[in-house]
Structure 1
Amino acid sequence: MVVELFTSQGCSACPPADAALAKVAARPDVLALSLHVDYWDYLGWEDPFAQPAFTARQKAYARAAGLRTLYTPQVIVAGTQSLVSPADPELDAAIATAYAAPPVVAMTVSRGAEPGQFAIDLSAPRPLKQGTVVQIVRYVPQARVEILRGENAGQVLDFTNVVTAWHAVADWDGKAPVRLKAKIEGEEPAVVIVQTALPGKTVPLPGAILAAGWLR
C-alpha cells in the first residue's frame, strides 16, 4: 500500500505529519514516501529535498480531484484518498479502507542475472478499463536536518523515505500480461509503482495505485 506525504521543512504544520508517516513506514505492508514540495521555500528556508516535480505531482492530484487549492501537509493513500494534516487513527483508517478493495493487478519482481537488474511481471485478472503508467521511485530511508530559518527555525527534524527521483518507465494498457526490465544503480532503495493514468487536458493525471513493490 502506497502512502505519499507532501511536506516541507518550511511548514510549521508538517512535523506531526512527518512523524505519522514514520510510524506507518515501519509497517511491512505499507510503502510510505515523503515528497517535499518547493512552494514553502520563499519563507526563508530552502528545503534541500524539495523538487518542482513533486509540487507538480501534488498539483496533478488536485486537478484529478477537481480541486484548486494545495494543502501542506497532505497525504494521498493508494492514489485516491486525500487527507490533510492527518492524525494517526485517520491515517490508519484510510490504509485499512484501501486494503479492503480487491486487487486488480498482480505484480511479481524477480532479480536478473546481473547486479541491479530486475524483471517486473504484470497481469490483470480482468482487462483494465484505463491504462497505467509504471514508475520507479528512489528514496533516502532516513534524514535528520537542523532548520536554521523559516517557520521551523531552531528545530532538528527527522524525515523518513525522502524521495529523490520519480520516473515513469513504461505505459501498460492492462490488457495482456507484460514483463518489464529495470536496471537500478546506486545505493538508494528503489520501488516500482503501477498507477492508473487518468485523462488530462495536456498530460495524464495520477489515479489509483494498483500495485507497488520494492526492487531489492
Structure 2
Amino acid sequence: MRSIPTFFTLLLAAAPAVRAQETPTPVVVELYTSQGCIACPPADALFGELATLDGVIALALHVDYWDYMGWKDKFGSPEHTARQKAYARAAGSRTLYTPQMVVQGQEQLKGHDAQAILADIARRKAEVARATVSAERKDVTLTIRMQPVADPVGPAEVHVVSYIPSETVAIETGDNAGQEITYANIVTNWRTVGRWDGEAAFEVTVDDAPAGPLAIVVQTVRMGPVLAAAVLP
C-alpha cells in the first residue's frame, strides 16, 4: 500500500491546475472521534498522517456520546457533539456517527475512508480561494483580518480554535481497552469571535487570546463552506 503522503501527491497531480495568480486556501479537515469508539483508531491514525500534510489544517473534535460505553474520553465535549449535530442538520440527516471527517465544511465522509478523504482534499486544494485571512498575536491580543478575493462571499462566522498538537492516551476500559493511542491536533476550545458580512475587508480583535497553537477558521453561516483558514503556532 502506498504511504499517505505519496498517495496525496498523486492525487494533487491529477487535480485541476490552479493558475499562478490565483491563491488556494488551506483545507480544513475536522475529525469527529471518541476514545470509546471501537471503529475510531484507524481513523485516528489516518488523521495523524493528514495533520502532517502541507496545506491541510487538521482539527480533531472528540465527542461525548460514547462515554457511556465504559470509558470517558478526556477530550470529549458536548460542544463538539453539538457542532457535529449542526453539520447533520445542515445535510438533512438525523444520524451521528464516528469516525467522521468533514472536509472544508462541505463533504462529510467516513473517517477511515482514506481514498475518498484524500481525493476530496485534493479537489479542495485545487479550488481558488474566495477569501483570505491573516492573524497576528501580541501577548494576549489576537488581531484577525479578512477580505474577499474578488466578489462578496456572503455572511460568515470567524472561529478561533485552540488545540493540543499531540497526546498519547492509554485506554484502560471500554471497547478499546488495552490500546495506547496517539491523538493529533486535539481541539480543546472552538470559539466564535465575530461575524463578517463577506463584502469588504474586516478586522476582529480578541483581547483574551489563549497561548498555544491556534487555528483561525472563516466559515459561511449555517455550517456552510470554509472560506479561509490559517494557523498560529
**TM-score after normalising by structure 1:** 0.91
Shift of residue 181 of structure 1?
Answer: 1.9
Q: After TM superposition, what 4+ stretches of structure 1 lie above 6 angstroms from structure 2?
A: none
Contact preservation (8 Å) 1:184, 1:190: no
Which secondary structure does the structure 2 equivalent of 1:123 belong to?
strand
Q: Is the 8 A contact 2:171 2:178 kept in 1?
A: yes
Secondary structure of 1:192 counterpart:
strand
SS at match of 2:230: strand
- Residue in structure 1 matching 2:174, options 129, 135, 150: 150
- How far apart, CA to CA, are the structure 2 residues paired with 1:45 and 1:76? 25
| CA apart distance, 1:119 | 2.4
- Distance, in Å, in 2 between the alignment partners of 1:40 and 1:136 is 26
SS at match of 1:157: strand
Measured against aligned partners, the alpha-carbon deviations of 1:151-210 in whole angstroms (never above 9, x if no partner) come to 10111111000000000000001012112223465443111100000xxxxxxx211011
SS at match of 1:206: coil
Tell me which moved more, 81-90 or 152-161: 81-90
In the TM superposition, 1:49-128 aligns within 5 A as: 49-111=75-137, 114-124=138-148, 125-128=150-153
Which sections of structure 1, spanning at least 5 residues, go unmatched? 198-204
**Structure 1, residues 49-70: CA drift from partner, whole Å, max 9, x if none?**
0000000000000000111111
1:210 aligns with 2:203: no
* In structure 1, distance between residues paired with 2:34 and 2:40: 7
Q: Structure 2: which amino acid aligns with 1:75?
A: M
Q: CA deviation at 1:97?
A: 1.3
Question: Cα deviation per residue 1:88-121 (whole Å; 9 max; x = unaligned)?
Answer: 222211101112222111222234xx42433222
Q: Which amino acid aligns with 1:23?
A: E
The correspondence for 1:196, drawn from 187, 201, 220, is 220
Matched, 1:140 2:157: no
Equivalent in the alignment of 1:179: 203
> Normalization by structure 2: what TM-score?
0.84
Contact 1:20 1:87 in 2 (8 A): no
SS of residue matched to 1:207: coil
Which of 36, 44, 65 is 1:18 aligned to?
A: 44
From the superposition, tell whether residues 186 and 172 of structure 1 become closer, same or farther in structure 2 (CA, over 3 Å): closer
Summarize deviations over 1:111-144 as a string: whole Å, max 9, x none.
Answer: 4xx424332221111112x310000000011011
Where structure 2 has 5 or more consecutive residues not aligned to the other structure, the ranges are 1-26
How far apart in 1 are the matches of 2:201 and 2:77?
A: 34
Which 10-residue stretch deviates more, 77-86 or 134-143? 77-86
Query: Quick one: which amino acid aligns to residue 35 of structure 1?
Result: L
Q: How many residues align?
A: 206
Instruction: Answer whether contact 2:193 2:204 (CA < 8 A) is retained.
Output: no
